[in-house]
Amino acid sequence: MKRWYIVLFACFAAAPFGALAQTSSTMTDSSNVILTRVLDLAEIGFQNGVEFEQLSGGATFFFPTGTRDAIDEMSLVLDYVSGQTIPVERNLQVRVSGQVMHVERIDGETSRGRIEIELDRDAIQSGFVEVGIDYAGASSESICIDERASGDFLRIEPSTRIILSLDRAALDDVARVADVMPPRKRLVTVPSTSADRALSFALRAAAAYDAEAGMITFESGDSDSGDSWTSTTIRLSSTETGGVGGAQVSVTNTPKPGLLFEGKEPSLGFDVIGSPWGPLSSGATYRIDGSRSTQDTITFADLNIGTLDQLVTGSTTFDISASIDAFPVGQIPMGVQLLIAAARSVNGQGVTASAYMNGTLLGSRPLDNEGPTWMSFTIPAGLVVRDNQIEVLVQRQIEGGSCRFGPQGYPAQIFPESRFILGKAPDPIDDFFLLRQAFGNGLDVVLGEDVGAQEAMPWLLPVAGAILPDAVVITPQSQIIAPVDGDRPRPFLYVGFQAPAGADAKVRFDQGRVEVRDNQGSVLFNGEMLNDVGLVQIVEVNGRSGLWLRPGAGAPPAPTPVAPLLLDRGDLAFISSDGVQIVTSTRRASLIDVVYPERFDAMQLIATYRPWIVGALWIALTLIVIRFLQGVYHRAGRGKKS
């Protein structure tokens, strides 16, 4: 089976705001400063690289390089590992912007190789360098030889990269810096900044820059030393300029360019900066306004997914991503209707299409019609999660050519008229991913009196990245306010060591000593161990659903792109420096039992002595049955004597 990859990514697109302003800040001593910026496959989403086998495969990557004006030199370094079991002829072709730049013959058994190519700045098109890779080979002149016999493979390593030498003096514009800045961000605030201002800004930055994958940290000072530009400093000023609702973003006057946010609503600056993936947004990732009205369907075109087209020889897979953020608030996909067309073979054979949702088979349908055909599949509610993946496997029987010609591929397409059927979502209080969707309507953030913003930030950033959509509207509040009659209640995010007043929290810390046990009664957390971990819990206060984050006393989470902090299903999670320790649902079949040994109410007493109580009840029931049977026996005996 051939494997082909066409790689397109996009983040949120830039949005115009009348009250926003971008300014530039040039450096007087930067005329001779050259910065090195490395963009590798891991950065654009391929932490494990890509792999091909059976003497066939290809991939196309888009590296965001920004404008060519700031680039002094540029080169491509391609690392690969290959192997085979029998001698075969193999080659690797590298294309840049559609032109063949290098052809490499691959010899021997398992080996490593590196290809280095100097690139001209003209290779940049619309802020990207397109790099194509084609892998091919043959084991015999006879086409009847099975290509699987070679046991070959070729893996393009995630260290494959484009190296940019950037002229610091040319990076004097916000758009230029945003297009090429490293994905890792360092958030720095001025000490005089108010807690509410810093908190709302940090939450928005965490949501926009993937804090759940460790892409943003809260620090002080500038630790990015050397010539390599590996992180971007984002500074929040205490200056409230720019008018009502305004934000001003400028380039910092530092050796390595950073961004300075000012104004009364500095978070709006994230919208005007946008993303370097904007020109490719029609191909893959999307964002839907969470406030849109309720509807019955949402098409692939609404999600900026165009026509999907592949050649099918034996089998091929169409991958379609659908985040919960893509659907209107309060609705989830209950089904998918695919409009598919596939060409018949020369012998009139059609194909079979099988649809999967997050790895679970939804159904399979034959496709024998000459034109486009609708195929409907039901999606069980239990399959929907935060990041959903629809896979459509299209298969056809390979038809040989009597050893005169190789198998022929025929086109198959999925059209943008395909659509998701929407239904009412469960209550946001049930699962983290549903609460994330509810945050699309905005949220109130409340900082408890028992915790400071500075100490909570290392815990808050990764949790905010995991639970908040990218373009969330954040409003600081001093307390959780009951909703007004007729208004849609906004969810909240509460940060504090104690549960918010009136919350129906499963785990509390105002009832004395706490023990968290599994279903067999073994203690999982208690005492200092429980105090060290962080607690993330969905609670309800005054008719409003929200999230309670209790920072731990131990080391905060340290997520990475390979091991991100994900909060998906469940409503209670314990987190630590190792990530999510336990996540469970307290409203369904809970995996834990929370015990308060110092609280002796009826339910606590029953929970503590449950085995003894059950045993005593069985003994009492047994004695009652024995006494009853004895009475029956004695009455029967007296009846016989009489």
Which tens digit of pLDDT belongs to each residue from 497-537?
Answer: 999 998 989 898 888 888 898 888 888 888 888 999 999 99
Residue 330, pLDDT above cutoff 60? yes
DSSP letter (8 states) at residue 638: H
State how far the Cα of 290 lies from the Cα of 296, in Å rounded to an integer. 15
Residue 11, pLDDT above cutoff 70? no
Residue 577, pLDDT above cutoff 90? yes
Confidence of residue 293 (pLDDT cuts 50, 70, 90): low
Confidence of residue 6 (pLDDT cuts 50, 70, 90): very low
Which tens digit of pLDDT belongs to each residue from 191-249?
Answer: 778 888 888 899 999 999 999 999 998 875 555 556 789 999 999 887 776 544 577 88
Q: Stretch 454-476: mean pLDDT, rounded?
A: 91
Q: Stretch 4-21: mean pLDDT, rounded?
A: 37
Q: Please report, for residues 12, 159, 334, 529, 606, the alpha-carbon distance to residue 598 in angstroms, rounded to integers and kept in the order given.
A: 50, 55, 46, 18, 14
Position 603 scores a pLDDT of: 60
Which tens digit of pLDDT belongs to each residue from 399-425?
Answer: 765 566 666 788 999 999 999 999 999
Q: Quick one: CA dihedral 19, 253, 179, 468, positive or negative?
A: negative
Position 145 scores a pLDDT of: 57
Lowest mean pLDDT among 122-131, 411-420, 470-479: 470-479
* H-run or E-run covering 389: strand 387-395
Position 406 scores a pLDDT of: 63
Position 455 scores a pLDDT of: 86
What are the backbone dihedrals phi and psi of residue 122, each rounded to the nearest 5 degrees, phi first?
-70, -10
Q: Is 78 helix (H, G, I), strand (E, B) or coil?
A: strand
Residue 304, pLDDT above cutoff 70? yes
Which tens digit of pLDDT belongs to each residue from 151-183?
Answer: 788 899 999 999 999 999 999 888 889 889 999
Residue reference for tokens 């908040």: 468
Confidence of residue 31 (pLDDT cuts 50, 70, 90): low
State how far the Cα of 612 lies from the Cα of 614, in Å rounded to an integer. 5
Whole-prediction pTM value?
0.79
Residue 635, pLDDT above cutoff 80? no
- Name, in order, each residue with C-beta under 8 angstroms of 635's C-beta and a sequence gap of 6 or more: none
> Six-digit token pair at 98?
């559609």
Instruction: Name which residue leads in pLDDT, 33 or 142.
Output: 33
Position 345 scores a pLDDT of: 83
Q: Please report, for residues 61, 166, 249, the alpha-carbon distance to residue 176 in angstroms, rounded to integers and kept in the order given.
A: 21, 11, 13
Which tens digit of pLDDT belongs to each residue from 609-620?
Answer: 777 888 888 898
Instruction: Name which residue leads in pLDDT, 239 or 590.
Output: 590
Position 401 scores a pLDDT of: 56
Position 593 scores a pLDDT of: 86
In percent, how much of the chain has pLDDT > 70? 83
Q: How does the average pLDDT of the chain come out, rounded?
A: 83
- DSSP class per residue in 205-254: HHHHTTGGGT-EEE--S----SSB---EEEEE-S---SSTT-EEEEE-SS
Position 8 scores a pLDDT of: 38
State how far the Cα of 123 lies from the Cα of 99, in Å rounded to an integer. 9
Residue 367, pLDDT above cutoff 80? yes
State how far the Cα of 72 lies from the Cα of 121, in Å rounded to an integer. 8
State how far the Cα of 82 lies from the Cα of 208, in Å rounded to an integer. 38
Q: Stretch 615-628: mean pLDDT, rounded?
A: 87
Give me the torsion for CA of 330, 333, 334, 338, rounded to 10°.
150
Confidence of residue 149 (pLDDT cuts 50, 70, 90): low
> Six-digit token pair at 390?
């629809």
Residue reference for tokens 């009652």: 624
Q: Stretch 531-544: mean pLDDT, rounded?
A: 92
Instruction: Name which residue leads in pLDDT, 208 or 190.
Output: 208
State how far the Cα of 215 lies from the Cα of 563, in Å rounded to an integer. 12
Q: Please report, for residues 138, 291, 351, 352, the alpha-carbon distance to residue 314 in angstroms, rounded to integers and kept in the order given.
A: 18, 43, 10, 11
Confidence of residue 139 (pLDDT cuts 50, 70, 90): low
Lowest mean pLDDT among 8-22, 96-110, 159-173: 8-22
